[in-house]
Structures are given as structure tokens and as C-alpha cells.
A and B are shown apart, each in its own frame.
Chain A
Amino acid sequence: MLDRIVLSRRQNIPWHLRSATFIAGLALGLGISCLILLAAGVSFDDIVDDLITQVFFTADGLAQTATQAAPLILVGLSSAASAKVRFWNIGLEGQVWWGAIAATWIGLDAPGWLPWRLPLLLLISAAAGAIWILLPLWLKLRYRVSEVVLTLLLTNVAFLSVQYLLFGRWKDPATGFPVSPMIDPAARLAQLGWGSVHAGLILAAVIAVMLWVLFDRTRFGFYAAAVGLNTDAALASGLPVVSAVTCCVLMSGALSGLAGGVIVAGTEYHLTTFIADNYTFSGITIAFLARFSPLGVVAAALAVSGMYTAGGTLKVFYSLSEATVVLIEGVILMSLLLARFFSLYRIDLTHWRAVR
């Protein structure tokens, strides 16, 4: 007879347990999603033949997932970097917008030697994202103003800036539409010859590894972790709290800005009013799925990107409504988070007598 359940938090989670629960969660989510699809009238054969094959076993489907993953990895890292020090950056999209604005500006207008244009574009877009988070950072450090509200609202200001440029300086002169001209080919990221996958994916992966080294293998990473666990204790122990928070938050802004640069230079080649949509939601989801671990972000971003590919495929193959697709995506995310619970906690089923 089962009498009680004891939950105990694991101190160290071995990587194989982490991976196993991640895969189990994904499998559970996909299983439930299949049931939803069957209920929506899609036959089981179709699911296997079309959907699973298309998304996971064709070069097209995988290439789309990989292409979308590049900016998703960067916003995931951005969200993770600030969350490390308990700074809730809910304005990823605002920084992505400014990164995209900066990238478009360099791509259209930068003078000088062409080979410098792409690195300059990436650098300036990262700087633009970092600048956009300066104000909330300063107000938080100086006056303890809530960064949640500020970063969120500044996203609207960033979007209005995009509109200002797209309805003014950069609007299509022939039609008046809010679409900027195409950026110079020299400022575009190289295509890798597989679908639309571009060099931004490699850049994102390299940055993820660098952040892993920074957070897991250096003294700075230790400080950041200490600040995140308990700011007051870190302060009392004489750790450089302000500089750790400043570095992590500026890094967060820069990474989102870079994501904007990668979107413009990698896939879109121009600025429109759509390109940063949804990156706040995606970035935060990815960071939480990965438990703020930089390498985990790469895996989580690929999983979320695959989910988006599958969502698009469902709409095309079965004319499923956006609502059904969002339901399925929600189920998969919930399953992944549920699975994480089992890696975070040890569960002991004990008999009352044994305990007594």
C-alpha cells in the first residue's frame, strides 16, 4: 500500500538523466499530439507517412528547422544570460528589432571596404541590442525599477521606431509600402548549400559553446551563478554583483540584437514589420526548457524550431486551424516541462511503516 510520496530536489543532475527526461518528454508530447490529430480526423497512416517523414526525415524539413534555429538559439541564449542573474528580460523582441534596424542600416548605407561590411553589420546589430537594454539595466541597478515592465514596454517603442523608419526614410518609393530596400549582397551571410541554411547557424553554435565555457568554466560564471542564486548573499560575501549583473544583461541585449542582425543578413535581406514577431515568447520558452544552460539552449532551440516546422506542415497538409496547431505546440512544451520536473526531483514512493 502506498502511503506517501517523498520529493527531494537533486543536487546534481547527471547529463544522461537530463537527456533521457528531455527525450521522454518529447515522446510523451508527440504521443498526445498524435491523439489530438487522430481526433481532428487525420489518419494514422498520414501522420506517419507525411508528417513525421516530412519533418524529421527529409532534407527540406530538416533544413527549415536548422534555418529557423539560428536566431532562436541566439534569443534563447539572450534570455538565459539575463535569467542567470535573475534579470527578467521580457523585451527580447525590442532588442531584436533594434538589431534588425542596425543591420539594415549597415546593409544599405555603410560606405567603405565591402569585406568589412558583414562583420560590421553583426557587430553593430549586437551593439544596438545592448544599447536598447541599457536604460532598464541602469534604472534597475540605480532605483530598483522593475525590469519586467520596462523591457516589455520598450519593445513597443522599438516597434514604433521600426514603423517610423519603414513609413518614412526606408519606405518603398514606388508603392509606399513599409518594406525597406534589399541590403547589399556583400552584407549577407553565406549560404551553406543546404536549403536556406546560412552561416548564422554556425555563428550561433560557436557563441553557445563560448557561453558554456564562460558560465561553467570561469570565475565570472561562478559569480553570475552566485548572484542568481541569492543576490543579497552574494553582495554580503563581497562578490562584484553590479559588474556581474551588468555584464550578463548587456550580453543578453547584444545576443538578441545579433539575432535581429542574423535574421536580416541570413534569411530576409530587408526590414519589414513582421520579422521579429514572436521571438520573446520563443526565447523565454527555449531558455526555460534548457534551464539556462547554453548548450541546452541549442538542443531546445532545435526542438522548438522543429515544432514550428511541424506546425507549418500540419497547416499545409491537413488545413488544420492555427488554434489546433497552437494546442499541439502547447502540449509538447508542457510535456517537456513536466519531464524536467522528474529530472529536478527524486521521487521516492515509500510505505508509511517503513518511514515510521
Chain B
Amino acid sequence: MKPYVSRRRATALGLAALSLAVTGMAVGSPASAFTLKGKPKIAFIYAAAINDGGWDESIDAARKKTAAALGLPIATSESIPEDATALRAAIDLYVKHGYNIIVGTSYGYSDALLKAAKDYPDVAFLGASGTTNASNLESFYPRTYQGWYLAGMAAGAVTKTNKLGMLGGYPVGVVNWDLNAFIRGAQAINPKAQVIGIYTNSWWDPVQEGKVAEAMLDQNADVIATDLSAASAPNAAEKRGAFAVGYQIDMKSYAPNGMLTSVVFKWENYLTPTIKAIIDGSWKPDPYGAFVSIKTHTVDLTPISDKVPPEVQAKIAAARAQIEAGTLTPFDGPVLKQDGSVAVAAGAKMTDDQLWSMDYFVQGAIGKMPAPQK
């Protein structure tokens, strides 16, 4: 029972999934296609309340679209804690009732999903922001940094003070690459742009996020971007007449004048084709997890504000086309760390392993990366 004592932390941790993801550590052989036995019965398991205003809500919106597209009902259960016993019990019950496609929605489920995948080889498992993979389990996460690079370009174009601010949750790879991509996007348009990067040390704390945004505005930042699921930081920017960039869902209603764009999840663009493939017998889970590009629109941008000049909008569209074609990545060398050392040499490209283990700011960041790896 979550409430009473630690409701806030429980919710916040449920949202933790927000920036958590797939790894390239998986074992598992390049499997033959997975064959579903019996009629498809699909269930989604959430770690927090479905209407949490962020992560779970964005996945549940996709669930409804996927269910409509497939013409199948999809069962749900919410607030199943991220401990081995509780999740396993839920999986056992679903399997016993004939469910054979099970989607877990938090990185905290990863190990339990892997164990269940081994114990139930006839059931297909998918793990949003998971870290484990097998012949019947695929973790999935979109390359959010691609969206943040484009959003950074928009922000770099409108700033007058050349100072932007961006909030992150915890210094993990999936958050760090969003911040760094935002910095590099801004500098691609405006080489003088600098970004104040601050970690709130929580996944969901609207009051603190609003205060952090105000502190950034006090330091002359005139664009506030948030990598978190509360909209209080964009809202604080709106009140001071500054610009904002939202995340996860379209946050325009919280900053109708200043919102440049929101980097949003559209999970149905991964879920619908993947579940279709599972049903028709052509599904081959990626042994390294599905780390999908912005090309799939699993991560996407909402329409960019007309406050961004047309020529910059054209540049953003061109950059997006190059990213989708694979000719541009936000971390093409040279990539210099904040301290001036080289992360990626000129002419080289950053590997996925380097992305996941990113634990530094790139040049152009103001502030210090907390708790770097020893």
C-alpha cells in the first residue's frame, strides 16, 4: 500500500522510468522469429498510477491507440511496485489467465521481466525503458537526444541573453544526453549560447522545479527547458515572459505564449507495429533492445512556435531529415567535454555504449555534473 507515508516518493519513483532505458548488455542469440501460441491476450503493467500526468499517462495514451489499431482489448494494472515479488505475482496471474503478450513500463521491472521471460518462453514480453533482453523479451526506448537537439536549435535562435536553462532529474545517461544534445543544438544555431544545467535530484517535484526555473531566470536565462514531467518550470518561464521547452506530453497549455515546442513520446509508433509483428509471427526481438530513432516518431516534437524565425525552422526541418537519414547525429565529433578534454574525436561518431555511459557535460554548460562515476 503506497499512500499515507510516502505517496510523493512513490509517485516520483514511479515516474523514474521517465528517463530510463535500454542497454546494450543483453545476452540472447539472434533468435528465430517468436511464435505466439493461442489467441493474443495483451496486458500492460504500470509502476505508478496510470493518471500520473507524465510517464505512465503517456504510455497509457499509446495503449488506447494501440488497442484501437489492433482491435483488441488491452488489460491494465497500475501501481504494481518495483520489487521482484509483487511484479512476478502480477505476471503469474496474467499468464495463468491466458495472457501471452505482457508489457512492463518501468526500468525497475527489468530483472523480474528477464526471469519471467525465461520461465514463460511462450509469452512475449516488452519492457519500456528496460535494460534486459531475451528471445522473447525486448526492451525499448527512443533516442530522445535527437528530439532535444532539434529543440535546442529552436531555443538557440530565440535567446537574447545567450543563456538558456535546463532541468534534469538524476545524472544518468538518458538524462545527460538530453541536456548535452540541447546544448549542442543551441550552439549549432547560436555559437554563443550557454546552458545552465541543474539536476533536481527527484523525478517529480513541481514546487522545487518551479523554484529552480525562477533561479535560472534570475541568472538571466530566457529559455527554460525541462527534462521532467511536471510543467511547473515552463509555467514559471511563462509568468516572466520567457520561453520554454516541454517534455513527455505537449505542455503548451502551461506556457501558451512562450512554449517553443515539446519533446513528446508517442509510444504507439513502437507498440502497434511490434505487437502486430508478435501476433503475425514475424517478431524477432533485438538482442540489444529496440533503441529507436526519431524517424519512428516514438519520440517527436510538437509543432514549433512561430516565435522561431522561418529560416531557423527550415534549418530544424533539414537537420531532422539528416538525423532520420543517419547523416547527422547530435554527437558527431569533435565533442569536447566541459573541462576541454575530448569525448569524441573529430570525424568520429559517438557509439551507443558511449551514449549510455555519458556522465559529463559538453562544452557550453554552466554548472557542475553531480556525482560522476569514480
Q: Are B94 and A171 neighbours in the complex by a CB distance under 8 Å?
A: no
Complex Cα spacing A325 to B50, Å: 14
Q: Are B171 and A167 neighbours in the complex by a CB distance under 8 Å?
A: yes
CB within 8 Å for A278 and B1 given contacts A173-B373, A267-B85: yes
Nearest chain-A residue to B87 (Cβ)?
A312
Q: Are A282 and B1 neighbours in the complex by a CB distance under 8 Å?
A: yes
Q: Kindly state whether residue A313 has any CB partner on chain B within 8 Å.
A: yes
Q: Are A277 and B80 neighbours in the complex by a CB distance under 8 Å?
A: no
Q: Are B374 and A174 neighbours in the complex by a CB distance under 8 Å?
A: no
Q: Are A274 and B81 neighbours in the complex by a CB distance under 8 Å?
A: yes
Q: Kindly state whether residue B359 has any CB partner on chain A within 8 Å.
A: yes
Q: Are A274 and B108 neighbours in the complex by a CB distance under 8 Å?
A: yes
Interface segment among B6-14, B211-219, B221-229: the answer is: B6-14
Q: Which residues of A contact B356 (CB under 8 A)?
A: 174-176
Q: Which residues of B contact A306 (CB under 8 A)?
A: none
CB within 8 Å for A277 and B1 given contacts A177-B131, A312-B80: no
Q: Which residues of B contact A169 (CB under 8 A)?
A: 374
Q: Kindly state whether residue B86 has any CB partner on chain A within 8 Å.
A: yes
CB within 8 Å for A267 and B84 given contacts A60-B92, A278-B2: yes
Complex Cα spacing A309 to B371, Å: 38
Complex Cα spacing A74 to B2, Å: 19
* B49 touches which of A159, A277, A313, A321 (Cβ 8 Å): A321
Q: Are B84 and A196 neighbours in the complex by a CB distance under 8 Å?
A: yes
Enumerate B56-113 residues with CB–CB distance to A below 8 Å: 75-86, 88-90, 92-94, 96-97, 107-108, 110-111
Complex Cα spacing A284 to B110, Å: 31
Q: Which residues of A contact B358 (CB under 8 A)?
A: 176
Contact mask B336-374 → A, CB, 8 Å, 1/0?
Answer: 000000000000000001001111000000000011011
Q: Kindly state whether residue B260 has any CB partner on chain A within 8 Å.
A: no
* B77 touches which of A178, A282, A315, A329 (Cβ 8 Å): A315
Complex Cα spacing A164 to B371, Å: 8
Q: Kindly state whether residue B155 has any CB partner on chain A within 8 Å.
A: no
Q: Kindly state whether residue A39 has any CB partner on chain B within 8 Å.
A: no
Complex Cα spacing A8 to B328, Å: 81
Complex Cα spacing A267 to B24, Å: 26
Complex Cα spacing A326 to B3, Å: 8
Q: Kindly state whether residue B296 has any CB partner on chain A within 8 Å.
A: no
Q: Are A274 and B79 neighbours in the complex by a CB distance under 8 Å?
A: no
Q: Which residues of A contact B107 (CB under 8 A)?
A: 177, 179
Nearest chain-A residue to B86 (Cβ)?
A312
Enumerate A249-301 residues with CB–CB distance to B below 8 Å: 263, 267-268, 270, 272-275, 277-278, 280-282
CB within 8 Å for A68 and B1 given contacts A175-B21, A176-B359, A316-B94: no
Q: Which residues of B contact A322 (CB under 8 A)?
A: 2, 49, 78-79
Q: Are A176 and B357 neighbours in the complex by a CB distance under 8 Å?
A: yes
Q: Are A175 and B172 neighbours in the complex by a CB distance under 8 Å?
A: yes
Q: Kindly state whether residue A67 has any CB partner on chain B within 8 Å.
A: yes
Distance between A309 CB and nearest chain B CB, rounded to angstroms: 7
Complex Cα spacing A307 to B13, Å: 23
Nearest chain-B residue to A68 (Cβ)?
B85
Enumerate B1-32 residues with CB–CB distance to A below 8 Å: 1-6, 9-10, 13, 16, 20-21, 23-25
Q: Kindly state whether residue B170 has any CB partner on chain A within 8 Å.
A: yes
Q: Are B353 and A329 neighbours in the complex by a CB distance under 8 Å?
A: no
Complex Cα spacing A317 to B236, Å: 42
Enumerate A310-350 residues with CB–CB distance to B below 8 Å: 311-313, 315-317, 319, 321-322, 325-326, 329
Q: Are A176 and B172 neighbours in the complex by a CB distance under 8 Å?
A: yes
Q: Are A196 and B90 neighbours in the complex by a CB distance under 8 Å?
A: no
Enumerate B170-202 residues with CB–CB distance to A below 8 Å: 170-174, 176, 201
Q: Are B85 and A174 neighbours in the complex by a CB distance under 8 Å?
A: no
Distance between A100 CB and nearest chain B CB, rounded to angstroms: 12
Q: Are B89 and A319 neighbours in the complex by a CB distance under 8 Å?
A: no
Q: Kindly state whether residue A105 has any CB partner on chain B within 8 Å.
A: no
Nearest chain-A residue to B5 (Cβ)?
A281
Q: Are B6 and A93 neighbours in the complex by a CB distance under 8 Å?
A: yes
Complex Cα spacing A139 to B369, Å: 36
Q: Kindly state whether residue A54 has any CB partner on chain B within 8 Å.
A: yes
Q: Kindly state whether residue A168 has any CB partner on chain B within 8 Å.
A: yes
Distance between B14 CB and nearest chain A CB, rounded to angstroms: 9
Q: Are A329 and B16 neighbours in the complex by a CB distance under 8 Å?
A: no
Q: Kindly state whether residue A220 has any CB partner on chain B within 8 Å.
A: no
Residue with the greatest number of chain B CB neighbours at <10 A, chosen from A167, A175, A179, A278: A175
Q: Are B82 and A274 neighbours in the complex by a CB distance under 8 Å?
A: yes
Q: Kindly state whether residue A216 has any CB partner on chain B within 8 Å.
A: no
Q: Are B353 and A174 neighbours in the complex by a CB distance under 8 Å?
A: yes
Enumerate A36-56 residues with CB–CB distance to B below 8 Å: 54
Enumerate A129-171 residues with CB–CB distance to B below 8 Å: 159, 163-164, 167-169, 171
Complex Cα spacing A271 to B20, Å: 17
Q: Which residues of B contact A282 (CB under 8 A)?
A: 1
Q: Kindly state whether residue A212 has any CB partner on chain B within 8 Å.
A: no
Q: Which residues of B contact A317 (CB under 8 A)?
A: 93, 97
Q: Which residues of B contact A93 (CB under 8 A)?
A: 5-6
Q: Are A54 and B25 neighbours in the complex by a CB distance under 8 Å?
A: no
Distance between B180 CB and nearest chain A CB, rounded to angstroms: 13
Distance between A269 CB and nearest chain B CB, rounded to angstroms: 8
Q: Which residues of B contact A68 (CB under 8 A)?
A: 85-86
* A174 touches which of B76, B82, B110, B357 (Cβ 8 Å): B357
Q: Are A281 and B90 neighbours in the complex by a CB distance under 8 Å?
A: no
Distance between A57 CB and nearest chain B CB, rounded to angstroms: 14
Enumerate A166-209 residues with CB–CB distance to B below 8 Å: 167-169, 171-179, 196
Q: Kindly state whether residue A246 has any CB partner on chain B within 8 Å.
A: no
Q: Are B374 and A168 neighbours in the complex by a CB distance under 8 Å?
A: yes
Q: Are A173 and B357 neighbours in the complex by a CB distance under 8 Å?
A: yes
Residues of A within 8 A of B (CB): 54, 60, 64, 67-68, 93, 159, 163-164, 167-169, 171-179, 196, 263, 267-268, 270, 272-275, 277-278, 280-282, 307-309, 311-313, 315-317, 319, 321-322, 325-326, 329
Q: What 6 A-B pairs are tightest by C-beta distance, nearest first? A: A176-B173, A315-B77, A322-B79, A176-B172, A281-B5, A274-B82
Residues of B within 8 A of A (CB): 1-6, 9-10, 13, 16, 20-21, 23-25, 43, 49-50, 75-86, 88-90, 92-94, 96-97, 107-108, 110-111, 131, 170-174, 176, 201, 353, 356-359, 370-371, 373-374
- 18 sampled A-B residue pairs with Cβ under 8 A: A93-B5, A168-B373, A171-B373, A174-B357, A175-B20, A176-B173, A177-B107, A196-B84, A196-B88, A267-B84, A268-B83, A273-B16, A278-B6, A312-B77, A316-B43, A317-B97, A322-B2, A326-B3
* Extra inter-chain contacts (5) besides given A311-B1, A315-B80, CB under 8 Å: A174-B24, A177-B173, A179-B107, A319-B77, A325-B1
